[in-house]
Amino acid sequence: MLKTLRIQPNGGDGLRPAPVTIFVNGAPTTAYPGETVATALLAAGSARFRTTARGAPRAPVCNMGVCFECAVTVDGRPGTRSCMTLVADGMRIERS
């Protein structure tokens, strides 16, 4: 099932810069400089960004830093809002 899609607004290629590699729970994943971690995770098909204390799945709601539902661990720093964090080559992201 196609859930998310990186759009090329003019139908053509080449709007995004050369890709970098980030690691999501250890797995290499393609991302583009300028993208947020939330975007890269959504584009990679992640429905679950984190799991609550009661075991429920959560994912981004507001995409502007208010809801904290998209929080993941970025380079060892837990509770980082993925919608407010830009990807960088080699970044390590852990979903819970």
Partner 1 sequence: MTTEHNEDYDLLVVGAGPAGLGAALEAAARGLKVAVVDEQHAPGGQIFRQPPGSFKQPEGGAKLAYPFGRELLRRARADTRIAWHYGTMAWGVFRDPQQECLRLGVSKNDAGAMLNGRALLVATGAYDLPVAFPGWTLPGVMSAGGVQTLLKSQFLRPGSRFVLAGSHPLLLLVADLLLTSGAEVAEVAFARPRPAIGELLRGWRAVPGHLGLMLQAARAAWNLKRHGVPLRFGSMIKAASGADAVDGATMVDVDRDWRPLPGTERHVEADTLVIGYGLLASTELARQAGCAVDYKPDEGGWIVRRDATMRSSVDGVWVAGEPGGVGGAELAHLEGRLAALDIARTLAAPGQRPGDDELDAVQRAIRKAHRFSDVVRDFFAPNMAALARLASGDTLVCRCEEVSAAEVRDFLDRNPHVSDVNSVKLACRTGMGMCQGRYCQHTTAQMLSEATGKPVDCLGHHTARAPVKPVSVISLAQLQDTLR
Is 2 a binder of partner 1 (CB under 8 A)? yes
For tokens 């075991």, the residue is: 55
Is 76 a binder of partner 1 (CB under 8 A)? no
- Closest to 65 (Cα-Cα) out of 37, 95, 96: 37
Per DSSP, 25 falls in state T
Is 28 a binder of partner 1 (CB under 8 A)? no
Is 88 a binder of partner 1 (CB under 8 A)? no
Q: Is 41 helix (H, G, I), strand (E, B) or coil?
A: helix
Is 39 a binder of partner 1 (CB under 8 A)? yes
**Chosen residue from 86, 89, 90, 96 binding partner 1 by CB under 8 A:** 86
The conformational region for residue 76 under phi > 0 = left, psi -120 to 50 = alpha, else beta, is left
Q: Which is closer to partner 1, CB of 65 or CB of 90?
A: 65
- 27-31 and 50-51 as β-strands: parallel, antiparallel, unpaired? unpaired
Which residues of this protein are in contact with partner 1, per CB under 8 A?
1-10, 14-17, 32-36, 39, 42-43, 47-49, 52-54, 56-69, 71, 77, 79, 84, 86
